[in-house]
Amino acid sequence: MRPTLEKRVADGQCGPWAFRASRSSFAVAVALLAVLVLGSSTTVGAQTVSFIAPRDFGVGPSPVSVAMGDFNGDGVQDLAVADYDSDRVSVLMGNGDGSFQASHDFGVWFPINPAPVTFSPHSVAVGDFNGDGVQDLAVANVGEFGDCVGSSVSVLLGYGGGRFQPAQGFGLDCYRISVAVGDFNGDGAEDLAVASSSAGTVSVLLGNGDGSFQAAQNFGVGGSPVSVAVGDFNGDGKFDLAVANPGSNNVSVLINNTP
């Protein structure tokens, strides 16, 4: 039985990975990652910023990650939210005026032994994994706390109209807690990069272009990685990776040298 996300936070755990890092080290890692991805350039513009009062929209229990996409093809941005304590992703259709419709939930589970299994989705990303022009979802699942059962990536292919097919599962190492999308081998099919906090690796799953993925290729990074981002850091037209590692207080940058 998994501890609730609230209990893990109360116990001083920065999420479900098996280490205890200080809040300051975690903040430094995330800040460094943001600098690497966004760059240091600035744009001349307004010197202040303001927002109207927030509007809240209900989703499942313990939402931990949100991504944007147009899941029903109406040209309006929608939201996908990973709900850690429900083993589901909540999808909220946008109305085009900054408001959203009531959420529709989609399970991230798939057949696995032993059953039943806790998946604990921790990160969600958007892509088109089968090339049909309809956006799909990829979800990194932490799995059972302590034994890694259910640690995986779930892929939910979009039907259109804001609907998704049942999840397909791709098993990985323990505590997969962050997923990002990019075409890392330049074949036109979108691939996945997934951070594993317990293994100290980032795994790349090359897409086959039909919604399925090849076996993971693992690359070592720093201690207890918790977040992965995609960008072209040397301007060669290839997607590189940046990974935040609170366990070693650094950011690992992996430059893509695929032929």
| 158-191 per-position pLDDT tens digit | 999 999 999 999 866 677 889 999 999 999 999 9
Q: Identify the band that residue 14 occupies on the pLDDT scale cut at 50, 70 and 90.
A: very low
Nearest to 93 by CA among 135, 122, 63, 144: 135
pLDDT tens digit string along 185-211? 999 999 999 998 888 999 999 999 999
Q: How far is CA 113 from CA 52, 145, 156, 171, 235, in A?
A: 48, 16, 20, 11, 44
Please give the model's pTM, rounded to 2 decimal places. 0.84
Instruction: List residues bridging with 191 in a β-sheet.
Output: 182
Amino acid making up residue 249: N
Mean predicted confidence (pLDDT) in 63-68: 98
**What pLDDT, on the 0 to 100 scale, is given for residue 230?**
98
At residue 202, φ and ψ (nearest 5 deg) are -120, 130
